[in-house]
Chain A
Amino acid sequence: MNTAVIILLAAGLFFFTGGSVGILRFPDFYSRLHPAGKCDTTGILFSLSALALYSLHDFSLQAVLTSLKILLIVVFIFITSPTATHAIVDAGVRAGLSPWAKEPDAEEDRT
């Protein structure tokens, strides 16, 4: 059981690392939303399921209720994190933020 907890926690931390490096290194606002939306959700799924599995260590009603609450957090994050990402990209689009292109000023020179 400890091995499963450590493997799940390491997987969650791996996804968190990928998401953070992606947020830091992607060139554009719209492409930065991709690691921010996905890797955080998957990292929370893995690491919180590891912590829910660990809190079932001494089996009692209190431990089961705590694990159910942790899984409730996972369900809540799975609903709200894509919603938050969509709200951020909606704000960016409506404010007129231009996406990243390979030749940024080729079209401007032609006019």
Chain B
Amino acid sequence: MDRVFLYSGIYLCLLMTLPLYRAALGPTVPDRMIGVNAIGSKTTVLLIIIGIIYKRVDMFVDIALAYATLNFITVLATSRYFQKRKGLYDYQRPPKKFPPEGSAH
């Protein structure tokens, strides 16, 4: 049964690389916030799995609860900060948004 939790933890770590791609080079800033939020919610589960592997669940549960709270506060603070900056990341589809100069009349 220990082996099941070990492999689940390893699989969860490998699964974190997919939102990490979105968080590292997502095209806009809210995309990065989505990736960070997904990684944080996976880490909450991973912390309790680590606690079961080391047989100290009573300690790691508190760490996981604190991490969930910290993740929530981080996302709220960054979204409140970035919603005041209009036009900061309006660079979706850059070749179609900015046509070449010859086509504009």
Q: With the chains together, A80 CA to B69 CA distance in Å? A: 9
Interface string of B57-94 (1 = CB under 8 A from A): 11001101100110110011011101111111110110
Q: Known: A9-B4, A13-B8, A51-B49. Contact between A24 and B18, CB under 8 A?
A: yes
One digit per residue, 1 when the CB lies within 8 angstroms of any chain B CB and 0 when it does not, for chain A 70-90 equals 101100110011011101111
B84 / chain A contacts, CB cutoff of 8 Å:
94
Total A-B pairs in contact (CB under 8 Å)?
Answer: 150
Interface size, B (range): 35 or more
Taking CB atoms, residues of chain B closer than 8 Å to A66 are: 57-58, 61
Residue among B4, B34, B76, B96 with max Cβ neighbours from chain A (10 Å) = B34
Asked if A90 contacts B52 (CB within 8 A), the reply is no
A–B pairs, 28, beta carbons within 8 Å: A13-B8, A13-B11, A16-B45, A19-B38, A20-B15, A29-B30, A29-B31, A32-B22, A40-B37, A40-B41, A44-B44, A51-B49, A54-B52, A66-B58, A70-B61, A73-B48, A73-B64, A80-B72, A83-B76, A84-B75, A84-B76, A88-B33, A88-B75, A90-B79, A95-B88, A97-B30, A97-B92, A98-B92
